[in-house]
Structure 1
């Protein structure tokens, strides 16, 4: 083989390796859509699964189930619904799931949070509310944990006497809907549409003077969130 052929062959190999590193680098390096495959797709699938979306096997193949999961994620988070995992979609997904996971595959932010109980609370208090309103309800519980005036675990917050109507009427014991599970996971990973609220209430169902006296932050669906 001549030196020229060796040089051309070496150059081709370098280019191939460079292109490979772009195609299969960190999540977010390229647009992912139906037909895409590789480690980036598998990472996308893993993060969608962490958020409660069904993608099928984590096989690194962007098929119809992964596309449907991307579309549902986009719809739930107010993004353009096109089934393509581009920069905006991936950035939001990474923000909500964190840059890494625990060895068990659970989101880092939720490893010390009782997601099932939090999801049952969301299901009981905000079933039928907009998705962001469900996330906000979960965030209220986690905001209370950070506040010195409240207990320090999800269970102690949820079962604090008189704190939540769903505990009083037994709805806390219902199996949570998928949206409630996703909302609880999202809040546990740091999302807080309530903007730091410690309380929420439905103005059409509440006459409690104390809750009405709290500084109001915003309203999502039927719930007003307050400090």
Structure 2
């Protein structure tokens, strides 16, 4: 019964929520619907985290590897600044999930192949448009990015988008599959 009430309230909030800002899809980067097989949601607002194999370079280099992605210190800093700008008031897990969304995009064949290209793709992230991306990252955002690069890499499996439905001005993400909700952010694939 609790689940039914929660689902009803969630649906009602989408129908009667104020318009919200969402990031538009730009031509050439269509959504991917082939990200199935993830065990990502065990009921509303509960997230299951899987361990993942992580390969790291020796300490004498400035790169970290996750699967096929290799990040420089500059890329880690850029991603940390985006996490701070997008999720400064969100819980720690929400910060990790925002970093995972960017990493998921880099791994997806539907998006650019580098952190910089994903973050600076036209119209994708509000902090790029309003200059918040240029402010330094805080310690918690840096820690969240490092967690997303290691033990919590699969916190947001399959999620390619996130938004706050309470402030979004476009509702196109409402039609996408929700993978999880953390704090004010709804994560979608």
The TM-score bracket by the shorter chain reads 0.5 to 0.7
Q: Does the alignment pair 1:112 with 2:74?
A: no
Normalization by structure 1: what TM-score?
0.54
- CA distance, structure 1, for counterparts of residue 172 and residue 56 of structure 2: 41
**Cα offset for 1:106?**
5.6
Instruction: Work out whether 1:140 is the aligned partner of 2:98.
Output: no
Q: Secondary structure at the match of 1:149?
A: coil
- Native 8 Å contact 1:97 1:186 kept in 2: no
SS of the residue 1:112 aligns to: strand
Give the secondary-structure state (helix, strand or coil) at the position aligned to 1:203.
coil
The corresponding residue for 2:23 is: none
> What 5-or-longer segments of structure 2 have no aligned partner?
1-49
1:171-192 CA deviation, whole Å, 9 max, x = no partner?
1001100011011112122623
Q: 1:107 to 1:152 in 2, by over 3 A?
A: closer
SS in 2 for 1:207: coil
Give 1 or 2: higher helix fraction. Answer: 1
1:166 equivalent in alignment to 2:124:
no
User: Residue 57 of structure 2 contacts residue 63 of structure 2 at CA under 8 Å; is this kept in 1?
Assistant: yes
Q: For residues 149 and 96 of structure 1, do their structure 2 counterparts lie closer, same or farther at Cα, with a shift above 3 Å needed?
A: closer
In structure 2, distance between residues paired with 1:182 and 1:216: 26
1:130 corresponds in structure 2 to 91
Larger Rg: 1
| Gap regions ≥5 residues in structure 1 | 1-91
Distance (Å, rounded) in 2 between the aligned partners of 1:98 and 1:161: 31
- 1:157 pairs with 115, 118, 124, which one? 118
Distance 1:163 1:207, change over 3 A: same
**Conservation of the 8 A alpha-carbon contact between 2:56 and 2:65:** no
CA RMSD of aligned residues (A): 2.4
Paired residue for 1:219? 181
The number of residues matched between the two structures is 134
Residue pairs, 1:198-209, within 5 angstroms:
198-209=160-171
TM-score for the superposition, normalised by structure 2: 0.64
Tell me how far apart the structure 1 counterparts of residues 56 and 79 of structure 2 sit (CA, whole Å): 22
CA distance in 1, matches of 2:164, 2:139: 23
Runs of 4+ aligned residues of structure 1 deviating over 6 Å after TM superposition are none
